[in-house]
């Protein structure tokens, strides 16, 4: 093998490595972007849910104690640290999860109608509660899609190749968002 051939071979191998690295980095980039997007979408759904919960609390269809507690939980949610653009530390996100879980639990008790003796609500009120349940469902979806993106990132960042070449750059490792979003 002549020197030229060896050089060519080395070049070919380098090119191959570069292509592989580039494609993995691109996948990683795409996933990180999606993680950000799904987090923003989750944030939007959480705000929407808090909004509708506030509306339900103010509408007079809840008993007074429930109304106060729901309003209070809504306030905490609105004052909490946003999931995008503010404090992106895991602790901040975990705290937000606790606050949103609190809202879920309060709503669950406030809307519990399993006692058959409870009279049926008027249609406008029932419609507001229906919208609340719908937005809660969307929170469930948004959270699921966000956590999926996170899990995929974890999967790819565990690859030796990614760690060796530091393909993730300085991007922080995202965490799944944990909260109680079982149906209310």
Partner 1 sequence: MMKVGLVCPYSVDVPGGVQFHVRDLAEKLIEFGDQVQVLAPADEDTEVPDYVTSTGRAVPVRYNGSVARLSFGPVVAARTQRWLEAGDFDVVHIHEPLPPSVGLIALHLAEAPVVATFHSAQTRSRALQAAYPLVRPGLERIRARIAVSEDARSTVVDHVGGDAVIIPNGVYTARFARARATQEWIGTPQRPTIAFLGRLDEPRKGLQVLAAAVGRILQDVPGARFLIAGRGDATQARADLGRYGESVEFLGPLEERDKASLLSSVDLYIAPQTGGESFGIVLVEAISAGALVVASDLPAFRRVLDGDRGGYLFRTGDAQHLAEVVRTALSDPEGARTRREYATGIAERYDWNVVAAQVRDVYTMVTEAAQVQTRSALPSMREWFGRKR
Q: Is residue 171 a contact point for partner 1 (CB under 8 A)?
A: yes
Shortest distance (Å) from residue 169 CB to partner 1:
3
Given candidates 82, 131, 138, 157, which one binds partner 1 under the rule CB under 8 A?
Answer: 138
Q: Is residue 147 a contact point for partner 1 (CB under 8 A)?
A: yes
Shortest distance (Å) from residue 136 CB to partner 1:
11
Please check whether residue 53 is in contact with residue 171, taking contact to mean a CB–CB distance below 8 angstroms: no
Whole-number Cα distances in Å, 74 to 54, 70, 95: 6, 6, 15
Rg for the chain, CA atoms, rounded:
24
User: Residue 121 corresponds to which tokens in the numbers above?
Assistant: 């609500």
Given candidates 92, 133, 140, 162, which one binds partner 1 under the rule CB under 8 A?
Answer: 140
Nearer to partner 1, 26 or 109 (CB): 26
Shortest distance (Å) from residue 31 CB to partner 1:
6
Nearer to partner 1, 71 or 140 (CB): 140
**Unique residue bearing structure tokens 């991007």:** 171
Shortest distance (Å) from residue 44 CB to partner 1:
7
Shortest distance (Å) from residue 168 CB to partner 1:
8
Q: Is the dihedral of CA 62, 115, 108, 128 positive or negative?
A: negative
Half-sphere exposure of 166 (CA within 13 A, CB side): 3
User: What is the distance between the alpha carbons of residues 54 and 45, in angstroms, rounded to a whole number?
Assistant: 14
Half-sphere exposure of 163 (CA within 13 A, CB side): 7
Q: Which of residues 22-61 bind partner 1 (CB under 8 A)?
A: 23, 25-38, 40-41, 44-45
């Amino acid at each position: 093998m002549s020197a030229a051939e060896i050089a060519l071979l080395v070049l070919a191998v380098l090119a191959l490595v570069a292509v592989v690295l580039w494609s993995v980095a691109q996948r990683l980039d795409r996933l990180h972007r999606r993680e950000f997007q799904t987090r923003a979408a989750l944030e939007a759904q959480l705000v929407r849910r808090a909004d509708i919960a506030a509306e339900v609390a103010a509408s007079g269809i809840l008993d007074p104690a429930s109304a106060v507690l729901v309003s209070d939980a809504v306030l905490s949610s609105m004052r909490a640290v946003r999931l995008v653009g503010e404090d992106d530390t895991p602790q901040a996100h975990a705290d937000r999860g606790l606050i949103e879980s609190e809202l879920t639990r309060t709503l669950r008790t406030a809307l519990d109608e399993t006692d058959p003796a409870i009279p049926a609500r008027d249609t406008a009120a029932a419609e507001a509660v229906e919208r609340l349940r719908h937005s809660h469902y969307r929170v469930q979806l948004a959270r699921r899609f966000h956590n999926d993106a996170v899990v995929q990132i974890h999967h790819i960042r565990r690859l030796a190749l990614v760690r060796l070449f530091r393909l993730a750059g300085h991007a922080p490792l995202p965490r799944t968002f944990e909260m109680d979003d079982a149906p209310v």
